[in-house]
Every structure is written in structure tokens, then in C-alpha cells.
Structure 1
Amino acid sequence: MSSLFLSHAIWQHPQVTSLNRLPMTSLPLFFPTLEEALSDALGGPEKRDLSDHPYHKSLKGTWDFILYDNPLSVDERVLDEKNSLSWKPVIVPGSWSIQGFDKPHYTNVIMPFEDDPPHPPQVNPTGVYRTAFTVDNHWKNRRTVLEVGSAESYVELYLNGAFVGLSKDTRLEACFDLTDYLKEGSNTLVLIVVRYSDSSYIEDQDQWWFGGIHRDVTLTSLPKKTLSDIKVTPTLNEALTEGIIEIRTPGNQVIEALDVRVYTDAGKLIEQEILNAEEGVIVGSLKVASPKLWSSETPNLYYLGISSLNEHLVIPIGFRTIELHRGNLLINKKRVLIKGVNRHEHDERTAKTISVESMVHDIKLMKQHNFNAVRTAHYPNDPRWYELCNRYGLYIIDEANIESHSNYDALCREESYAAAFLDRVQRMVRRDFHHPCIIGWSLGNEAGYGENHDAAAAWIRRYDLLRVIHYEGAVRPEWGQGAHTLESLKRGSFATDLVCPMYPPIALIEEWDRTTDADRDPRPLIMSEYNHAMGNSNGSLSDYWDLIRSSRSIQGGFIWDWVDQGILVDDEGKPVGFRNVEEHVPKRWRYGGDFGDQPTNYDFCLNGIVFPDRSLKPVMSECLKVHQPIHVRSSNPSSGYFTIISEYDFITTKDIALTCSIYNESSSEEYTFGVELPILQPGGQAQIHIRELQESRVRKMMGSSTTFIRFVCTLKEPAPWAPKDHIVALEQFVLSTISKSLHIHAPAYPIKQTDDSLFVETILYKASISSEGFLSALHFEDRPPLLTSPLRPSLYRVPTQNDGLKTYTHLEGIKGFSFYHEKKAMKPWLEHSLNDLVLILEELKIRHNQVKTIHQLKTHTGLDIGSVRQTFTFTLEEVFLHAIFDLSDAFAEYPKVGYRCSLTKQEEPVSWFGRGPEENYPDRKTGSLIASYDKTVEELFVPYIVPQDCGVRTETTRLVLEGAKIEGILPFSFSIHPYSPEELWEKRHADDLVVDEVDHLSLDAAVRGVGTATCGPDTLDRYRIPGGIYQMRLRLS
């Protein structure tokens, strides 16, 4: 018989979830004194230092490691501490897949191996970890417990050659009692981690598969008689004026009494009770008068000190209520809008091993952009994450590590997996019960809906009466992952207290809100995933929020998702991991398939609103705006009367400063002044009068050109999550609109003709029209030449990932991949080579200082797509272009309508008056205010990991390049890139792009919105470009 328990192949028996694993507990670490425990709790994870803790030892560091092809090939000698095997160093915690062993593997729905539950593949990488430790003398006559924070996906534990136990569930810690296996001196610990197991079929989330140990491995020494667990339930009376802390221990406690104390967040003792055991159970309560309530805006914590014998612990708690009432989720009796995001645990270097610094950075970025909620997609997170969310203030939906996407309908109804479903939910709830940030428990993600879910929901409803249950699968149709319908959204009330669809069309949830009877179904609608953020995306976020704010029971949602799951690699394409490697600019991030991982879902792991290193994508300015807690409204802005509306739920505006700026298009002058902001109560509003609008200089500005007023709300003082002067809200209004003249009064200049072109020469510029009828040269005095290629009409942009996934084009027709490429906007554009438009000159007329042309527009496949009429007018100082596009219905929609050309390299920053400063599109522009901006060409480009169209700025009326100033008599959109469209389409990674010798300019009358079609609704009709008439009127000077 093998000395390895592996021979029993428990990794493919889902009925067995563990052996000898200790029950999950909600207890934090014990300390020798209450003062030490309180100091640790008050300082939190950011200040925690356990290096001097006498009864706690971290085993993080470098371990010995061997990787085998499968668990049954593991050499039994790994348990012999004097073996001669070839061990290699590996860092713990840290996935072996990013440390040179095996490789990361990305899939979304499909399994990374042959789909045959519960069996893992024959080639199943199995890592053997070895380290040694000694036990201090003062640990003797006590219990020694080992905790493995996270092991993917099956772990067996051996100490000094003896089998101790095993555990499944990659995302929750597993604890084992080592006491009976210890020896004097050095103890040899071996962990055998099997990468794939029966658990993999219910851990089939949209993320990388990594083998190894992701969180810390620790040793803790406990007294023989110790508190096994405790359940602390803070509640409030109906008036929210008195807090009650209910305390209960499990039965059969060996502790006879507990000294319980309540401290404020300043460490002040305010209550104390001695609770005695009766028949092995300790039950009691304490009251707190006029408690400060916990919410995301007011994360007020109290600290419950618990002492028994010679051990002491402190549990942070918060007083808050959660309830459902007539279609609304109420927190502390208030309808709170959920401004949420889904967050995977991911680090560009260290994969699933996340530092406290990284967690804090995420939280600060979220709160700085007005997020107030996170769904832990799709598994319980590192315990320190919840501690930090308690302290900074984020609402959390805590999600069980259950997703069976590839076996959607089967495993939720499969009896052999019933124990695993229930075990994962129970252990998550028991571990995280005390965190006030958690407002709901999720039964998992994309795992169908069956009896196993109902069993888990029933257990939660008995164990936790104070939180809601979330499960999206319960509001799907009965079978399959079909689209949500009005009927399906009314299903599943036993398994979910929230109607929580994924990617619902706006029209559907609007109809749901209009037709649902809140007396019959009191559940609010909070989208579990929406506004999919793959590449250049997040169209219509403002449209969702316009509906949310005007609805009865639509209460928000969680954007998918937080961070691009790109992996940083070195020059050889290997994961950087923990190595110090000089970083390439742009960074070399890799996605599915880049490591030879097949089958894969390629770039579908790049769905974040921030890049892998947490640098911001342009959508973050949109998030800040649509989520902002203060709004300014006016029906007549030029009157100077504005209404300030607070969307805060629990705090006033006393810490907010308000600044106004008045400016217009024709002047660089900006009139900025402070405004006294009334102290608004939560949800309150007040009218202010901007008297400065009556000043003569402002009236003069308003009469000279289109004039704007901008309101900016900032923090008066630093907050824990943001510095002083951080912007929390902004609004903009047009004070006056001055139409630009369509008449040209300047002196005309005649056009000269040669054999192959037309040209004009004044004392200020030279211009040429090619024989094909395009502006081919323009050179203003004292400026470099503007054009290096003709200004040609163009109807094409490089597809975004929402337009279609270029990484999937080779998979068309293959079963299982149709979702990724069918019905995508780019398909007809590519089939008919819209990028290579055929322009047939039908007419060219010269009339003194004007050139008029008519071009027919066709594709190489013979489609007639309309015409474009151009009128060029030449004066002493300027060139005018009036273009009229008349597009047919040959295409259901066009990607853009406008012009494209190449420019002399722009060495100086480009400036413009229009929406900015960040990239914006017709359906993602709310957070981009109209003003004057300047950026370099490199800064105007957005380095999405998969190159695609980017960098558009809409509603532009002035664009200043080195070679010319371009003014829009009608507003236009522009983008300027250092890369050619061909380069952007052909390359698969931003770091592979080669800078061109020229810059590439697009000027457009219309551009298609970005939508969310990779996984969600496509661009709304009003942001698409159907056939019809489109005009451009430009002045070049």
C-alpha cells in the first residue's frame, strides 16, 4: 500500500470535501493580552505586524518544490526528509504557474481539459511543496494548528511523513490540527497540491487556472481549552437609536465564562459584561446607546473584546440594518443605490496572491470614482479584503466559490455534488459572518439553478436572518442559460432576495419596473453584472443610470469587471512573477492562448475598467460622473439659478467645496470662483444663485461665442480614501450658444490647374487638390506641411472588441465559439473590405475659388454605398471644406462617417476644444466635459491590451495641430494615432505595435458608439450610424 494518501484518488470524488479539516470559524487571531488584540484590530491589516506574536508563525518564503505530471506519478520519497530528489525553490504564497513551472491557462466557459465530471485529466500537474519548522518551547502542551489560506484545487497535508488531512475549495482556508504529528526539533511539512480535481467542475469561472498556493500558510498555537467559535450579531431597535449585540457560542464549550467589552473606534471602553456558560453554551447581549451606524459613507466600527482564561481577541463590528420593502433594498431604512463593480483577485505579477497594499489601492480607486459596492466575483476573497472594506466603507456581496458554467444545468441538480455546494456556502458564511460590509450572500455564479442551490439557501435563511441572498441563476429560464425574460425575472424567490440579472437590455428592466407589483414581489432589481468592460467599451452606462434614478425598484448593479486579467511577461514571453525585471513600455501583458494554453477563450479575460497594473482606463471618468453623489440641475442656466441635489444617504455636504468656472470657445480666459454650498442633509436639495452671471465681463463672454459654466465639487479636507481637493462630482451647462456663420466673406483666391492637380497659393498658404478630387497638400506659412497623404473620405474604423473579436476569427463555425463572433458589427465591414473604400470621381468642377466634387462610394465586392459631395473654398487665410455624405442602406450600419489622412509627425501637444480630456464616444461621454485640452499624440492613444479603435474625442469645434487649426462650423469628432489602422488591426498586443513615421488623423461627422456587445447589449440604435445624410463643415487655417 502506498504511503501517499493520493492513491485513493479522492480528488475525483465530489462527495468527499475534506478529511480531518477543522470546522470553519469566524474567530480572528487570539493575542496574549486584550491590549494587544485591541491594538491589532484598531490598526487593521495596513498596520498589522505579527512577527512578534508569540503564538503565531507565518511560513511564507521559499519552499522546496517538485512538479509531477499527475498525482499518481508523485514519488513516495517526497515524504522522506532525507530523500535525494531534485527539489527546486518556489515562493509561497504564489502560484507555481507564474514561477516557471507549467503554465497559466485561461478559459471562460469551456473546461481546460476534456469535460467529463467528476474526472480531471490524465495530465494533471501536481505540485509537492516542502518546508521545515520548529515549534517553540512555549507552544508545548498546547494545540498547534496549520492554516493553508488557498490551494488550487486540492491539497493533501503530511507532517513528518504522516498523512494529516485533505481539503477542497480553492478559495477558502483549510485548517488542520498538527498536535499529534509534531516531534522535537525540526518538523517536515509537505503539501501536495493537485491542479485539477472534481472541484474544478464547480470552479469553472471566467479567470485563469493557476496551480499552487495563493494565500499565506501559517501556524497558530492554541490552549488545550479554547473558544471554538462565537456568533456575534449586532442589531438595532426600530428607531435605530439603540444597538444590541447578541452573543452565542456553539454547544459543548469548554470555556466557562467570557469577559466581553465594547470599545469605540478610538479605543474607549463603553460597555462590559461577564457572560457565563450554561450547559456548555454561552449566550448574552450588550446594549450600546445611540450607536454610530455603519454604511459605505459612514463606516463606523465598534470593537468587541472577548477574553477567556489567558486568550484575548477583538472582533470589529458595525451596527446597520438590511431589509426589503416594496421593491427596495433598505440599509438603515434608506434606499441605497448600488454603484458596484465585480472584482476578481488578480495581480499582473503574482496572479491570485494579493498584497494588502494592492487591496487598499483598489478600494481607494473605487471610492475615488464613486463606487460603493463590490461583488467578490466569483469566490470568497482574502479575509483581509473584508476587514479593509469594513474600515473604508464598501458594500459587499460575498460569493460562494461555485460556478459550473460548462455543466450549467447538470451539477446544480447532481446529488454527488450536493455536499460540495452546501459545504462551500456554509464555510463562507461562517467565516465572514461578522463583517458589517457584507450585505448579502451569493450562492455562486453561472451554475444553473437546482436543488443544491435551494439546500444552500435554506441553510443561510436559518443561520443569518439579517442579510439578503443573491443568485442570478434563479432568475433565468428553467433550463439553459437563455436570455432573461419578464417571466424569468419573477422566478426564484426562494434562492434570491434580489432580482439580479446579467447584462439585461435597458428596455427589459424598464418594462420589469413598470409591470412588477411590489406587493406581490418585494424584491429590488440589482444587476449582478452589466455594462461589460472589454477593451474600448462601457457604452450606455449613463443610460442605465438615467433609468435607475427614475425607476421605482431598479437599484443599481455591478459593472463587469474591475481589472484586466493580463499577465506581465518578460522579453521571452514568460510570466515575470516575483522576479525583478525591467518593464517594457507599454507593458507586455498576455492573455489566453499566449502561453500555448489550449483550449482557451483568448482575450475574454480582459474585461476591466482598469489595466492590470491599476492604471485607469478612460471609462473611469464616466464611472465617476454617473455614480456621483451630488447633482446640479437647472431649467434655465443663463438665469443663474441652479438646484444642488445631494444623493448622499447618510452624510451632509459639509465637507464638500463647490467651485464654478465660466469659459467659452473663443477665449483662453476662464473665470473661476468659489460658491458657498449650502449644507444639505442626506437626500436634500437647495437652490443657489450664481450672481456672477450678471457681471459685464461674463455677459460679454456669453455674447461673443458659445459659453459654458462648470460646477466642480471637491473634498475640503483629506479623506481616508482620497486627498484634499479630490473631485467627487461635476456638472456642465451651456449658458449661451452663438451659431457660427456659414457664409464666407473673406477675399477669394483663384485656383490654378496643372496636368495632375489643382493648386492655390496665397501669401499665407499653399494647397493642392489631386486629380482624384482630394485635398492632397496644405502648407501654412511658418508651419510644417499638414498632410503626408490626401484627406480621403472614410467609413471605416478598426473594430473594437465589441465590434467583434479579431482573436476569434479563425474559430468561426467551430462548435462552442459561435457566441464570440456571430452577429457582430464588424463582420460585414470586413467581408466587404470597408477599410479599402472605392471612391469613383464622377464630377469635378472649378468655379473661381471653389472646387466641387462628387464621388460614388463602392466596395470591392460591388456594393453601392452612396456618394459624397465635397466643396472646397479657398480664401486669403483659410480653406473651407463642406462635405455631404449620402449613404445607402447597403450596410445596416457604418462604423464612422468622415475623413482619414496621415500627418507630419506632431512633436508638440495637440490642443482641442471639445469633450475631454479622456477618450469619449457618443454613448460614453457624460464624464467628458466640453472645454479646452491638450495632449501629445502618445497621450491621445489608449493602449488597450488588444489594439483596436480608440482615442476619439467627440463634439469638437476646434483642433490645433502643428500644421493647421481645424475648426468645426458643425461639431466633429477626431482621433490621432501614432499607428496606422492596418497596424492596429494586424497586431494582437499593444506592446507589439510599431510606431509609424507619420501620425494618422480621423475627422468624423459621426462615429459609432462602443456599446457592450462582447457580452451584453450591443450599441443602442441612437448611437449607431444607419444610411442617410451626414455633413461636415470645416475651416482650416
Structure 2
Amino acid sequence: MSIRTTTAVDYVEDVSPGTGALPPRAWYASSDAASLSLNGSWRFRLSPTADAEDDSFAEPGFDAGHWAQIAVPGHWALQGHGSPIYTNHLYPFPVDPPRVPTENPTGDHLHVFDLPSDWPSDGGTVLRFDGVESCARVWLNGTDLGEFKGSRLPHEFAVGHLLQPGGNVLAVRVHQWSAGSYLEDQDQWWLPGVFRDVTLLHRPAGCVLDFFVHASYDHTTGEGTLKVESDVDGRVTVPALDIDVATGESVTVPVEPWTAETPRLYDGVLATEGERVPLRIGFRTVVLEDGLIKVNGTPLLFKGVNRHEWHPEKGRALDPETMREDVLLMKRHNVNAVRTSHYPPHPAFLELCDTYGLWVIDECDLETHGFVEQAWRDNPVDDDRWTPALLDRAARMVERDKNHPSVVIWSLGNEAGTGRGLTAMAEWIHHRDASRLVHYEGDIDCRDTDMYSRMYAFHEEVERIGRGLDGGTGKRRELPFVLCEFGHAMGNGPGGIADYQRLFETYDRLQGGFIWEWIDHGIKDERYGFAYGGDFGEELHDGNFVCDGLLFPDRKPSPGLVEYKKVIEPIRFEGDAADGTVRVRNAYDFADLSALAFVWSFQVDGVDVESGRLPVPPLGPGESAHVKLPRPPEAGDGETQWTVRALLASDTAWASAGHQVAWGQFPVAARPPVRVVPSGAPRSGDGRITLGPASFDARTGALMSIGAVDVTGLRLDVWRATTDNDDGAPWQSDVRHGPAWRKLGLHRMRHRLDAVEPTGDALTVRTRVAPAAREVALATVYRWTSDGDRLRLTVSVAPEGDWTVPLPRLGVRFGLSGAADRVRWFGGGPGEAYPDTRAASELRRWESTVDGLQTPYVRPQENGARADVRWAELGGLRIEGDPEFWFSARRWTNERLDAARHLTDLVPGDTVWVNLDHGQHGIGSQSCGPGPLPQYFLAAEPAEFSFVFSEVG
């Protein structure tokens, strides 16, 4: 029999939440109580195990002058000590709860500070930690204060009796792994450290301790009822409402309600004998009524995102300006809701949501996803020993954030299976705060939750749920449905979100969803630009699955965010060219259109020729009106269309006047056909064939030049560098097209020349394009004609054999001189688009450089296609499509793009490779969700398409 010795670090593996910390309370800033930030440069020592060093560093007088220095807040692994680790759900240590490895990186942090000379001597003082991963033990001036777990949650200690005027020694020992790590398996980088603020807070005698602001709104009377419960008696004043009442007393007055669209806050003060605390009060009522989530009597439609906290250099140590940047970007892209995946955010983020207006699902610091590997055996949420830790996490979230009007739903956590601990959390939250609803996706029968929540449900299932045909328990059928995660924004995509939005707007029960996720978690790295899983030598990792956001790591919007903004825009336009009107519909839940200005413009061949203001009335939510457009100007035989836009009429807190909120386009006259009447025959000589302005190789029929423009390698192309969504997730049972394409060999097609036929007025080149080892092929015929100045290519494609998969793309590819740079086109833009990601593609004339056409996905993949292109000009060539085509150009081949793993692998060559595509396969969301819908498949079927080439005059 072996005996395990009790050691001084046994608390690391203790399932309890810790010892010594004060009870949780509301987060607030005092008007007159002193505070001292302890953020800054701290001394640091890293040890390989939890018990490698003794505790002597915590004693006053310890000399840490030879230790390293790191920034607090911060993660030591991002400051040259150890390395980050990324896993999606696998625990990066053996699963033996609550045990953790002996190899447990432990960071000793030391900070010496003086009190300000005017630091009050009365009352008490607390030491506050807003976030430490994953387990910390704290000493002040040699006294052990206790230890705690719950990385993304606040912990406070009473320290007033230990402070001295100068030379205070704060020592914090942080362990990377602990029993708490089993509760924090949250699809993110494992990054230990003191990553949120450390603050000393004076607590005057008679100060405010904890308080709960209850501010409800009755939409039938327009009145709000305020009651502030406080641990310490005091008075509540709200000057704008002429309120002055004692704590615990209710008062009802007419108010303007708070919503995410109209975030009206009233400034107030809670005053006790020893302290005044500012209040920011938003009156709103959240209920589950008629099977719907309603705020102020109105059902919500969430147009949301899941937001991890992330900065490419600082990790989860976010500064206020970065948090504000996130909120402003959300507002400017029509996002109205945030799920704080998968933990409560820095409290300052919720203040920003209150101020600027965002609905918040506040999620607890809980995920045990790794236990799925053993069929959830030993899952802590179904083990009574862990329930106190779960309840502690729920309480610290609710108590900290309960006074934020933006928080409308509490979430128990994420992907933690099911169990008694979750039920205990739900019961506690419902009892503590009946003014909000409770969410948890894993509760499939909705035993503990107030809504039916799912991740990545396919479109057809979502429609069945909307129609009430999904089955399930009686309770579940009566609840609203929310997609807490959908539209997996990994790499190029997500596709199909417009199809989801149509469902949300069709069925009342479907109350929207939250895109996964807000930002790519790439780490800035000189080797790769941005690093992802595996780039730091991790034993286990999930690659670039950590880069699945609507923002690139540097917070530049991806095409996915631009698409989402268009899909969820709050104004809908429907044009009718026959009677010259546009129907304008207000898709806001609460706001009217008085804050917007509407403008129209009339385009001829993609160029504005006239514009003006559109007189749209201030429609209320859900209202619509038909508005007369002016008489269109004469346009000859050009292609014409209307464009209407909704702009901010004046500056707001989140954007300047003129910011575009929504837009729509409506055709008037169609594009005239592209005609090239053959007027000459091919001529042979000197090993070449000439036809109009073009020269061909007489043996192979390959195009060599058009006028003075050299062209190389023009031939059929069906391959694209697979996207993350093409490749799909390995756990998915349905067909993943990327692997199927590779298995078939579409990335290594061979081109057989069958005939070169310069006859009549055409040069015809017959080929067979097929992969090695397979019987399938594409019989491809290139037919060239010319009117003397222009050159027309007609490509005919006939599949041979049994094609069981769609094509990645279908078109031609060729090379131009590397000097080609400026690109002009008439078509969709300004950014990329694909069959199921084209809502934001605006038809007009655009310009770019070749480099500007590229989308810098952290893992390189197919990108940069422009949709509905009528013509494009590049490198001295003008290319017209019949019909319209997809256009892309890059300084590397598709094969080199496919082989690249980081942006730094892409080195420009001497050739610009141009793709003119008749078709592209859809994108979908199969990196975690469904693939493209069938209507976006590019079937292998007979096709014919043409391009007209000419030199730019």
C-alpha cells in the first residue's frame, strides 16, 4: 500500500474553490473611496513544478533583484517564459480528476508597493484580483491570505490590518494546472498568469458593501420601477427622474427604457454613511412569455457573436481601448448581441455594452468538454464533490455583473455535459435573480433552462424547429430557440448565414443566433506573422482551429464580418423597377428610423450618374413604406440600376454621421450581350498560329500573346486551395468535400491534348482533363474566334465517367507578367464573395492592386474571388465575360497557396496568375457546422462559357 504525503501545495488539487476570499459582490467604482492600481512591472520566477521552490519569497526582505520582470496584467507564456498551448477540447494533461501533473509550471510573482501619503487610515482595505489562471496563492507582508481558483472571476481579500505605509510586499504564486483546470477547457490558448487587474480598494467605515439595482419597465404604461437593495442602508438619488428614496424602497416614474438599440442610461448615486457609488441605471424587463424571450414586451431577435477575449500580443490581458474597439466594431457592423464565450469578460466590457447598447448572454467560467473523450465519465458537473466550486463560480458571475442592464441572460457555461451540479447552479441563479433568464446549450430537454439552445444545427433542422416539428419534451416545444453558435467563421466563410437569417425572420420561435466567433486567436509571431496551434511545439494541439473569427488577429474585419453586417442589417430594401418605387422596411425591434438619412444613386455601367436624398418617413419597428424614386436619367444601352442607402443622419456614440447602416440595389436595364463577330481565319507560320490580335503555339494550340501582352499557361482549372470549411471537421459524418476532392485527385489534374484545329474562322483545341488513377474526366474544348481587334474564347466542358462530388471551381487560369498590378473591374466588390457569401457584394466599378485582392487568412486558402464580374482590366488586358464570371488574381499559383501553412510561406513570384471562373463551389460552415446547401454546389455537368479579350487602349 502506498501513502500519499500531504504537502503545502495540496490546495492545487483540491476541488474546493479556495480559502480566504471574501464573499462575491457587485463590481463598481466608488466616487470617493481611494483605490490603488497594482498593475505594472512585477518580479517573476518560473519553476517547473508546483513545489519546486519554498515560500520564502513571500517574506519581507526577500531579494528578488535577480528575477525576471513581467507585465501584470499579463501571461508569462507571452513574455518569454514557457510557451502557449492550444487545444480545442482535449485536456493537455492526463485526465485523472482532480489530479494534475507534477510538471506544473508555477510562476512566483512579487510586487513591492508604497501606499500614497493620503491613503486613509480608517475603515478597511481589500485586495482585488479580477482574473488569474488557473490557481493562485496570495501573501501580503508575509501573511498567507489564502488561495483561489476560477480564472475569469474576481476574488478579494481583506488586507487593511496588514498594510504599512511603505515597502508592502505582495507575493502571488500562480500554478498553470490545478483542479480548476478541469472546469476551464474552453477552446482557447492555455495561458497562465495574472491577466486582469490587481487593485487595492479602501473600504471606508459605513461604506457600500454589496447592492442590487432592480430597474424594471412596464411597456404598457411607460413607467419604470426602481428599487436598490443594499447591504448597508443609504439613499438612492436619480436627479433626471427626481428620485430620492431610501435603499430597499420602490419608486415608479415615467422613464425612457433601455434597449440595445436605444441604450438610455440614467445617472444616479447610492450614498451610505461612508461612501457614494455612481449608478448607471437602465430600465428594462426581461421575461419568457408566449414561448418567446421578450424585453419590454417585445420579442428579441439576436444578431449576435460569441466573443472570447483576445489580443494578438497580450492574450486575454485586454486594455480598455481594445475592449471599446470591439464594441464599436460590433455596433458598426449591426451586431446587437454578445455571448461572452465561455466565461464572464472583464467587467469594463459590460460597462461598454451598457453604454453603447448590446444584449449580453453572460456565461459562467465553466467547460468540461474534454470528458467527452470518455463518454463524460467522471464529469465534475455530475459529481457532488465539485458542486461547491460550481456554485461559487455561478455566484461570482451573478454578483459581479447583476447591475448591468445589458446582461439579459445568464449562461451556466459551455459544453460541460449534464449533471446535478448544473441543476444546482440553475436553481441558485433562478432564486437569486428572477429578473433574467437562464441558458445552457447542453440541456437538450431544457430541464434547467429557459430556452432551447443548440450549436450548428443544419438549416433544415432549424426550419423544423421553427415550425414546431422538432419533437422533444413538452417543455422544450414551448420554449424559444436560439442558435448559441452557428456560422463557424474559420478561414474563408462562413457560408450560408443569409439562409439562416431568412429562417430567423420567418419563424417567431427562432430568436436568432451567435456567430462563432468574434476574433481569430492568432499570436503575433515573427516567424509566421500570426501563430496558431502547433507552432509552439505543443504535444497535443488543434492547429488553426483557434483562428475562427470574424476579425483577423489585428482586429481588421474579415469578409465574413462584412457579409454578416449586410445579412443582419436592420433596414430592408425591395425595389420595383416597373413602378419606380422602393419598399423600405424597419427591421429594428425597438428603434424608429428617425436617426437615419436615406439616399439614392443611379448607376450606368457601374458608375454613379445622379444621386439625391430619399424621403423615407420615420417608420416604427416592423413598419414599412413604399417610397417613390425619381425618374431615371437617359442611359442609352448601358446596364443601369438603383442603389439606396441608409446612413446615420448625425454623429452617434459609436459612429460618425454618414456611416452606412444598410443598402440595397435594384436593376433597371440589363447588361447588353457581348458580341464578337468573327471576321478572320487563323493563319499558320513560324511555328505559330495567329488569329486577330492573338498568337498561339502551332503544336499545342496554347495562347502565347494578345497584342503586346504575353500570356502563359491558359487552360481549364478546377482546383482551389481548400478552405477550412472545404476540409471540414474530422468528427463529421457527412461528406467533407476537401478530402473527397483530394482523394479523387482534383489537385493534380493532367491535361491531354487531343487536337489543334485551325479551320474556318476559328481555332479549336480539344483536350481531356483528368486525374491520375481515375476514370473520370472533363472533355474540354477551347474555341477561339476574333473580329480583328478582340479575341473570344468559348470553353465547352463535358464530364465523363461517374462524378460523385461537385467541382471546387470551373474556369480558366493563365499567367501575366509580374509587372501587372493595378486591377479595375465592373462587378461585385469591394471584397471577396462566393456563392453563399455574396450578400455584401455590391455591383459597381472598383479598383485595387493585385496584393489588395488577397484576403490574409491566418492559414492561407482559397480567397479573393470577386463575383458577378462583367469585365476586368489587368496587365494591359481587358476581359469581358459571357455570362458574368468570378475573377481572382494572385502572385502565386493555387498549388503554392494550397501548400502554404502561414502567410509568410507565400512569396511573390514573377507571374501574376489570373482565374476567370464560370462557377465556384459554395463555402458553407463545415469546419464545425454544415457544409454548403445543395443549391450552392458546383455540379460536374456540361457547361459552356465565354470570355472576350482585348488590349486596354
1:730-772 deviation line (CA, Å, top 9, x unaligned): 0011112245155x435x2221224754223x5xx23214533
Distance 1:345 1:646, change over 3 A: same
Distance 1:184 1:633, change over 3 A: closer
Aligned to 1:798: 721
Secondary structure of the equivalent of 1:728?
A: strand
Aligned to 1:93: 73
1:906-958 deviation line (CA, Å, top 9, x unaligned): 54421111111110001000111211111110100111111111001111111
Tell me, yes or no, if structure 1 residue 125 matches structure 2 residue 125: no
| Matches of 1:416 and 1:979, distance apart in 2 | 58
Aligned to 2:439: 470
Contact 2:825 2:869 in 1 (8 A): yes
Aligned to 2:503: 547
1:591-631 deviation line (CA, Å, top 9, x unaligned): 11111122111111000111111111112221121111111
Contact 1:897 1:1030 in 2 (8 A): no
> Residue type of the partner of 1:330?
K
Number of aligned pairs?
Answer: 935
Tell me, yes or no, if structure 1 residue 187 matches structure 2 residue 168: yes
- Larger relative strand fraction: 2
Q: How does 1:769-848 map to 2 (within 5 A)?
A: 769=697, 771-774=699-702, 776-780=703-707, 784-787=708-711, 789-804=712-727, 818-819=730-731, 823-848=735-760
Aligned to 1:870: 782
Aligned to 2:477: 521
Tell me, yes or no, if structure 1 residue 927 matches structure 2 residue 850: no
Aligned to 1:683: 622
> Residue type of the partner of 2:709?
P
Aligned to 1:30: 30
> Residue type of the partner of 2:24?
M
Contact 2:883 2:946 in 1 (8 A): yes
| Matches of 2:645 and 2:415, distance apart in 1 | 41
Match of 1:646 among 586, 589, 606: 586
Contact 1:1004 1:1032 in 2 (8 A): no
| Matches of 1:944 and 1:27, distance apart in 2 | 38
| Matches of 2:7 and 2:616, distance apart in 1 | 68
Contact 1:895 1:1025 in 2 (8 A): yes
Structure 1 residue 359: Cα displacement: 1.0
Structure 1 residue 84: Cα displacement: 4.4
Distance 1:130 1:1031, change over 3 A: same
Tell me, yes or no, if structure 1 residue 438 matches structure 2 residue 438: no
Distance 1:240 1:157, change over 3 A: farther
| Matches of 1:654 and 1:545, distance apart in 2 | 25
Aligned to 1:41: none
Match of 2:689 among 733, 747, 758: 758
Larger deviation, residues 126-135 vs 380-389? 126-135
Contact 1:828 1:891 in 2 (8 A): no
Structure 1 residue 388: Cα displacement: 0.7
Aligned to 1:19: 19
Distance 1:435 1:752, change over 3 A: same
Contact 1:158 1:165 in 2 (8 A): yes
| Matches of 2:608 and 2:705, distance apart in 1 | 30
Secondary structure of the equivalent of 1:830?
A: helix
Distance 1:738 1:212, change over 3 A: closer
Match of 2:196 among 215, 223, 232: 215
Contact 1:153 1:211 in 2 (8 A): yes
Q: CA RMSD in A?
A: 2.1
Q: How does 1:176-255 map to 2 (within 5 A)?
A: 176-183=157-164, 185-237=166-218, 239-250=220-231, 255=232
Tell me, yes or no, if structure 1 residue 497 matches structure 2 residue 450: yes
| Matches of 2:739 and 2:700, distance apart in 1 | 29
Distance 1:603 1:151, change over 3 A: same
Contact 1:153 1:195 in 2 (8 A): yes
Secondary structure of the equivalent of 2:860?
A: coil
| Matches of 2:134 and 2:559, distance apart in 1 | 36
Contact 1:983 1:994 in 2 (8 A): no
| Matches of 1:247 and 1:115, distance apart in 2 | 45
Contact 1:500 1:527 in 2 (8 A): yes
Match of 2:555 among 608, 614, 618: 614
Structure 1 residue 894: Cα displacement: 1.1
Q: How does 1:363-512 map to 2 (within 5 A)?
A: 363-408=327-372, 409=376, 410-475=379-444, 491-492=445-446, 494-512=447-465
Residue segments in structure 1 that go unaligned for 5+ positions in a row = 33-53, 276-282, 476-490, 574-586, 806-816
Aligned to 1:271: 243
Contact 2:737 2:805 in 1 (8 A): no
Larger deviation, residues 647-656 vs 222-231? 222-231
Contact 1:324 1:522 in 2 (8 A): no
| Matches of 1:770 and 1:546, distance apart in 2 | 54
| Matches of 1:629 and 1:368, distance apart in 2 | 12
1:636-672 deviation line (CA, Å, top 9, x unaligned): 323202211111222221221111122233x745322
Match of 2:791 among 849, 865, 879: 879
> Residue type of the partner of 1:824?
R
Tell me, yes or no, if structure 1 residue 171 matches structure 2 residue 110: no
> Residue type of the partner of 2:244?
Q
Larger deviation, residues 306-315 vs 23-32? 23-32
Secondary structure of the equivalent of 1:94?
A: coil
Structure 1 residue 820: Cα displacement: 7.8
Q: How does 1:255-266 map to 2 (within 5 A)?
A: 255=232, 257-264=233-240
Contact 1:6 1:71 in 2 (8 A): no
Secondary structure of the equivalent of 1:407?
A: helix
Aligned to 2:568: 627
Contact 1:906 1:961 in 2 (8 A): no
| Matches of 2:556 and 2:165, distance apart in 1 | 50
Aligned to 2:894: 981
| Matches of 1:129 and 1:734, distance apart in 2 | 65
Residue segments in structure 2 that go unaligned for 5+ positions in a row = none
> Residue type of the partner of 1:563?
I
Structure 1 residue 5: Cα displacement: 11
Aligned to 2:641: 708
> Residue type of the partner of 2:105?
P
Structure 1 residue 108: Cα displacement: 0.4
| Matches of 1:5 and 1:259, distance apart in 2 | 51
> Residue type of the partner of 1:503?
Y
Contact 1:803 1:824 in 2 (8 A): yes
Contact 1:866 1:887 in 2 (8 A): yes
Tell me, yes or no, if structure 1 residue 768 matches structure 2 residue 769: no
| Matches of 2:118 and 2:332, distance apart in 1 | 49
Tell me, yes or no, if structure 1 residue 1017 matches structure 2 residue 930: yes
Aligned to 1:902: 815
Distance 1:649 1:864, change over 3 A: closer
Aligned to 1:749: 680
Contact 2:720 2:898 in 1 (8 A): no
Contact 2:219 2:296 in 1 (8 A): no
Contact 1:527 1:556 in 2 (8 A): yes
Structure 1 residue 394: Cα displacement: 0.4
Structure 1 residue 432: Cα displacement: 0.5
Structure 1 residue 70: Cα displacement: 1.3
Aligned to 1:346: 310
Structure 1 residue 64: Cα displacement: 1.0
1:858-886 deviation line (CA, Å, top 9, x unaligned): 21123322311221112211111111111
Contact 2:9 2:50 in 1 (8 A): no
1:35-78 deviation line (CA, Å, top 9, x unaligned): xxxxxxxxxxxxxxxxxxx6210011111111111111123321
Structure 1 residue 677: Cα displacement: 1.8
Q: What is the identity percentage for the equivalent residue pairs of Structure 1 and Structure 2?
A: 30
Aligned to 1:479: none
| Matches of 1:804 and 1:821, distance apart in 2 | 13
Aligned to 1:478: none
Secondary structure of the equivalent of 1:324?
A: strand
Aligned to 2:535: 594
Contact 1:326 1:519 in 2 (8 A): no
Tell me, yes or no, if structure 1 residue 1033 matches structure 2 residue 946: yes
Larger deviation, residues 890-899 vs 162-171? 890-899
Larger deviation, residues 906-915 vs 598-607? 906-915
> Residue type of the partner of 2:336?
N
Aligned to 2:829: 916
Secondary structure of the equivalent of 1:472?
A: coil
Structure 1 residue 821: Cα displacement: 10
